[in-house]
A and B are shown apart, each in its own frame.
Chain A
């Protein structure tokens, strides 16, 4: 089990190999369908994004509400392929890592190789377990989207597996 810290450096990304189990500590952003659509539309119009994504890792998640006394509700990954359409544009703007579940299309993989980006899989459906590693949550943008807003998560030993590495190797079964 490799322990890695955020933000990711290019050296760390280069060393990560598909299949590696990792524990991630540090600060990441979140975003899923609706937030991706908005970010993408801003990029298309050449406008500034509400969040600086350069060097960030994004987690595709829409958490359940937190019970009183909990930092966050259950927060497992959502299917990544729905973000594929928007992803290369975000990688071109400096996003260095993604966490989700399931397959990515070839355009995303090509863009990952070009931009030296890593894609992690978290375990779909292990939402209560994963939420234990999320220590602090704040809204960064698009609060009106509720669970689909962009949050900042502070995580400690967040469990994931390198699903597709920056060289384009994949551990996802075909």
Chain B
């Protein structure tokens, strides 16, 4: 079997750049969506908020500072080619080191605490990052990464619906979750939805959905239609930019699905703020 050797330092440097870039330079998909929202927004306050967000992203990219002070918790979905061998280090540690260097050298906020309940002491380098790895065939490493702020993460929810709930039940849970979040998660939001799998699979799908560009659609026409329908319904809620009223409460609804059990229909809704930072790379 032919193997491909990759130095651990290459992984570290790639991950570092990924996280610095995603924090300084908002994605084209998000910027375009914000500009479109600014054009359609009917509330003068909402229009003004969107103008300020666009200006904010310009300042951030020019000065290479983060678009938002909450530079989030680092999440990576990795597709690891089975012909790759890491030299001079381990993959896991190389990734953590990349995150560590991005947050320290890149002036990103360190927002991770060591223990969730008792200590809550800041780890001072934003590690550990959360890494989901799947082994695929090939000699490449593909990384899809995001940094997730918790203003919106806290507004997320999961429900173990059962099959009789049907599509109406799915819609209701998603809309109820967005409604409950209201003005808190920095609208206009990106709504990541995971349907199917098991309890944790649905949540992971929802997270992955928030990392999909908002100008893409689910390849299954039925889910693509559902994405559009939900976006329309959400934008009728009136929360608007910054929750100060308006017709742009969301800039995208992304649905990801997976086969599930005969008895179940889990639905997870991961809400993301308008600074939906995501980036993809291949080594």
Contact = CB atoms under 8 A, between A and B. Distances in A.
Interface stretch (B51-59, B129-137, B170-178): B51-59
A129 B66 CA distance: 11
A64 B66 contact: yes
Interface in A97-136: 101-103, 121, 123-132
Contacts of B64: 67
Interface centre among B60, B108, B244 (most CB of A within 10 A): B244
Interface in A20-73: 21, 34, 61-67, 70, 73
Contact of B244 (A66, A70, A147, A161): A161
A128 B238 contact: no
Given A63-B69, A74-B60, A146-B124, A101 B45 contact: no
Given A125-B186, A128-B56, A66 B107 contact: yes
Contact of B243 (A62, A76, A145, A172): A172
B56 A125 contact: yes
A13 to B, nearest CB: 20
User: Which residue, of A19, A101, A102, A173, has the highest number of chain B Cβ atoms within 10 A?
Assistant: A173
B65 A74 contact: yes
B68 interface: yes
Nearest to A147: B109
Interface string A141-174: 0000111000000000001010100000001111
A103 B183 contact: yes
A76 B69 contact: yes
Interface in B178-202: 182-186
B108 A64 contact: yes
A103 B56 contact: no
Contacts, number: 144
B37 to A, nearest CB: 13
Given A62-B69, A73-B66, A126 B53 contact: yes
A75 B56 CA distance: 12
A125 B275 contact: yes
Interface string B54-88: 01110110011111111100000000000000000
12 contacts: A62-B109, A64-B65, A67-B107, A73-B66, A74-B60, A75-B69, A125-B275, A127-B68, A127-B69, A128-B63, A129-B56, A173-B243
Given A62-B109, A101-B184, A123-B49, 12 more contacts: A19-B45, A79-B151, A101-B186, A103-B184, A121-B244, A124-B273, A125-B53, A128-B66, A132-B59, A147-B111, A161-B45, A172-B243
Interface of A: 19, 21, 34, 61-67, 70, 73-76, 78-79, 81, 101-103, 121, 123-132, 145-147, 159, 161, 163, 171-174
